[in-house]
Amino acid sequence: DTEVTQTPKHLVMGMTNKKSLKCEQHMGHRAMYWYKQKAKKPPELMFVYSYEKLSINESVPSRFSPECPNSSLLNLHLHALQPEDSALYLCASSQGAGGGYTFGSGTRLTVV
């Protein structure tokens, strides 16, 4: 299995809702990432998990809460989001810096 699977593919949520994005990989990769991508922009790193521990938080607002339950799963819990948080959220995994990063197809999030 050489894929990163993200669910759901599309999500519409209100500003008072709580939702979660899920990401799964079975490649044995030791690092997993969340990226946010606005239209016509490059992906921006949000969080990095290395060996299931949070190693990088790029000053992301607390309304985004990551969780890594095990080495194959990565969640992003969403609460009280703003319309400007609408974006494509990409999950990725890698064995290391030189192994290449495998990206999922993303979750298209719309906050209304």
Binding residue count for another protein, defined by CB under 8 A: 27
Question: Cα separation of 30 and 9, whole Å?
Answer: 24
Across the strands, what pairs with 73?
24, 70
Among 55, 57, 82, 110, binds another protein (CB under 8 A): 55
The amino acid occupying position 11 is L
* Binding of residue 105 to another protein (CB under 8 A): yes
Nearest CA to 74 out of 109, 17, 35 is that of 35
Footprint on this chain of another protein (rule: CB under 8 A)? 4, 6, 31, 33, 40-43, 45, 48, 50, 55-56, 90, 92, 94, 96-98, 100-106, 108
